[in-house]
Amino acid sequence: MYRLDSRLHYSDPIFDTHTHGIDTDALDLLVEIEKTYGIEKSILICHSLGIKDYAEETYPSRFIYAKYFSGAFRFTHGVEPLLKEISTLKEEGYHLAKMQSAPMMRGRVKAGLDDLRMDEDEMARFFGAMKDEDIPFILHLSDPDTYYATKYTDKKQFSSKERDLQELEGVLKRHEDMKLQIAHFAAQPEIHRLDNLARWFDTYSNFNIDTSSARWISRELSKDPMIARTFIMKYADRLHFGTDCVAFTDDQSYYDGRHLALRLLFETEVRNEPLPFTDTDTVNTGGTFINGLNLPKSILDKIYWKNAMHFFSKFV
Ligand SMILES: [Zn+2]
């Protein structure tokens, strides 16, 4: 039914390490489109036990399951319930934990700027519970530079991006003895931030990053494909392909566009190719364009498959 864009040439299996499950019909559609794009395994971040049970029954051995933790919940209920959720994670059939702790989570419940930072003592109890059970953790902390310039401008509600990145680095430093997948290029796909991300890679060996979201990563890495390509070639062992597709809608173009954007970015030499969907961050300033990185097959093999298979070898 779907035909792969003829500019895409990679034909080996791909592992998507960042997808979300919400609605069962939408999950069926996501899987159908994943198959078109060669995706044979995925991490499914489950927003309910129901979607995990459905996925397990319908698509045996396709998914690794991550239990979803809202980053806002700790501000309203404290850390204790999180420890309980970790203690039942394995028996419920999950393999990993994922927390969405973007700045807006703090804003949503009017939490103070210093409340329950991820790298502090109280939150260390949550990390300790995962360590005790040997549960890897996917963490989203911080957001695009564009959000800090437009959405996070109220300084009473939101920190600077620099401060949020310090918090994230604090997590890497404090929890060096656990497996971490830091979402969204560790919030640093912006070209001017790659040097800092390189320093993290050189300093901390406990974390890999994923390439979600398609919109953010395509937009920023395309701004200087030479620098982006050199960076990816150097740290190719630390990257996991991920789309951040959320199975919530019956709009096929939503899933299609995200897969197409990332694969055009990594595999091709396209220049000034319009992002195949709207980027709300640039819709009023000329749009977002993809400049392909033309990565060699040996590097694509790592990012698309081998690194994730190795990192999550216990579960595949
Ligand atoms: Zn996500």
Output the domain CATH number for residue 72: 3.20.20.140
List CB-based neighbours of ion ligand 1 within 5 Å: 244
- Would you state the torsion angle of the CA atoms of residues 268, 270, 275, 276, taken in this order, to the nearest 10 degrees? -70
Residue 273 in domain: no
Cross-strand pairs, 265: none
Gap from CA of 245 to ligand 1 centroid (Å) = 7
CB 27 within 8 Å of CB 245: no
Residue 149 has pLDDT above 90, yes or no: yes
pLDDT digits (tens, 9 = 90+) for 70-111: 888 899 999 999 999 999 999 999 999 999 998 888 888 888
Q: Measured between alpha carbons, how far is 67 from 44 in angstroms, rounded to an integer?
A: 9
CB 206 within 8 Å of CB 173: no
Residue 284 in domain: no
Residue 206 has pLDDT above 80, yes or no: yes
Residue 129 in domain: yes
Residue 275 in domain: no
Backbone angles phi, psi at 35, to 5 degrees: -65, -40
Gap from CA of 139 to ligand 1 centroid (Å) = 9
Gap from CA of 89 to ligand 1 centroid (Å) = 19
Mean per-residue pLDDT for 18-26? Answer: 98
Gap from CA of 18 to ligand 1 centroid (Å) = 6
- Which pLDDT does position 155 carry in this prediction? 87
Gap from CA of 261 to ligand 1 centroid (Å) = 17
Gap from CA of 5 to ligand 1 centroid (Å) = 25
Gap from CA of 19 to ligand 1 centroid (Å) = 6
Gap from CA of 138 to ligand 1 centroid (Å) = 9
Residue 285 in domain: no
Taking alpha carbons only, the member of 16, 127, 129, 116 closest to residue 75 is 116
Report the percent of the chain where pLDDT is more than 90: 91
Residue 221 in domain: yes
Gap from CA of 43 to ligand 1 centroid (Å) = 11
Residue 280 in domain: no
What domain count does the chain have? 1
- Which pLDDT does position 110 carry in this prediction? 87
pLDDT digits (tens, 9 = 90+) for 104-121: 888 888 888 889 999 999
- Which pLDDT does position 202 carry in this prediction? 98
Mean per-residue pLDDT for 23-31? Answer: 98
Residue 53 in domain: yes
- Which pLDDT does position 2 carry in this prediction? 64
Backbone angles phi, psi at 288, to 5 degrees: -115, 140
Which CA distances in Å does 136 have to 26, 90, 123? Answer: 27, 12, 16
Range of the domain at 47: 14-249+295-315
pTM value is 0.96
- Which pLDDT does position 113 carry in this prediction? 87
- Which pLDDT does position 62 carry in this prediction? 98
- Which pLDDT does position 112 carry in this prediction? 87
- Which pLDDT does position 105 carry in this prediction? 86
pLDDT digits (tens, 9 = 90+) for 287-296: 999 999 999 9
- Mean pLDDT across the chain, nearest whole number? 96
Least confident window among 153-162, 198-207, 294-303? 153-162
